[in-house]
Amino acid sequence: MIILVLGVVCVQPFLTGCSTVNADKAEVNGEPNSTEMLLKSAGLSVDSVDEALSKAAKATQEGQMDLAQLFYVKAYELEPKNMLVLQKMTDLYVQLGKNELAEVSLKIIVDQQPKNLKVLEQYGLLLLKNRKYALAKATLEQVVARQKSWSAYNGLGIIANVQGEYPKAEALFRKADAILPNSPELLNNIGFSLYSAYRFPEALAYYNKALQINPNFKKAIYNYALLQARLGKYDIAYDAFVKVASEEEANNNVGYIAMERGDYKKASNYFQEAIRLSPEYYKKANDNLKRLAILEKRGHESVPSN
């Protein structure tokens, strides 16, 4: 299975921290007593929101993310309507990859500040990240109805692409590009929507433009390689794939697309090379070879995605 890479601009870094405090149960909906017990078990105490925020910031700087989370939850329990506390909790949850918890805390802010477009957009993009497409779409549409926002248009374009509405996706990405021109992410996304609509030459032009601006942009490199393989330019595709993947993965990727195109001999060669490079690790190539043998026997020219 080849997976296209559609750039989601709102993605943030995933960081981890270590702490001796187990804060798994210290969440927005946690019981105050359990939070207090966790603090006491670690020999800690908090008497005010300001103290909790200060200690949370210090814990974050020291990489003690679970402890920071605990302090933020305590601050929330002290002042449930404190928007600063809720925003910092949201930011930390996103940083830790706890997107469902981030959604909960951010929704509280949205309910309290429904006219805050910055928060509303952040909420819509977080819903998109959590694959809640219908609600994300409704939320981001509220944003663009009131102001032009490249990231909101980009999010709506991603949703349209996921839903198979490729011309709509292209139009939305172009609106984003008009606000933030020459963004490799947006150029890649326009190319992606064109690729999805089988408009390969146009898609290639956008991938090339994205790579001219940022030659090391992995998403665009991967999509460029995928498109070259679809065009039957396997050597070019392989040379691009190895910039962002292992040699065995690059061979398997090119082989898989060649198999889908009916180029069975080429596909077999690439699969064999993938197996030679990594006979134990690269099980996918063996599986694809078996699938290729079935196709050749039946005379088919396509294969279901694995």
Judged against a pLDDT cut of 90, whether residue 193 lies above it is answered with yes
How far apart (Å, rounded) are the C-alpha atoms in residues 143 and 151?
10
180-201: average pLDDT: 96
Amino acid letter at 132? K
H or E element that contains 305: none
The answer to whether the CB of 207 falls within 8 A of the CB of 224 is yes
Write down the pLDDT at residue 305.
Answer: 43
Work out the angle between the directed axes of helices 133-146 and 150-162 (0-180°, nearest 10): 150
How far apart (Å, rounded) are the C-alpha atoms in residues 176 and 183?
9
281-291: average pLDDT: 77
pLDDT band for position 11 (cuts 50, 70, 90): very low
Write down the pLDDT at residue 41.
Answer: 67
Cα dihedral 22, 25, 15, 218 in deg (nearest 10) = 140
Judged against a pLDDT cut of 60, whether residue 208 lies above it is answered with yes
For residue 48, what are its two tokens? 């005010």
Mean pLDDT of the chain: 84
Instruction: Parse the chain into domains and list their residue ranges.
Output: 214-306
179-190: average pLDDT: 97
pLDDT digits (tens, 9 = 90+) for 58-81: 988 999 888 888 888 888 888 888
Judged against a pLDDT cut of 50, whether residue 306 lies above it is answered with no
Write down the pLDDT at residue 42.
Answer: 66
103-127: average pLDDT: 94
Q: Which of 162-171, 194-203, 225-234, 282-291 has the lowest mean pLDDT?
A: 282-291
88 Cβ contact partners less than 8 Å away, ≥ 6 residues apart: 53, 56, 72
Class of domain 214-306: mainly alpha
103-128: average pLDDT: 94
The answer to whether the CB of 139 falls within 8 A of the CB of 123 is yes
For residue 96, what are its two tokens? 């830790």
**Distances from the Cα of 58 to the Cα of 43, 54, 246, angstroms:** 16, 6, 40
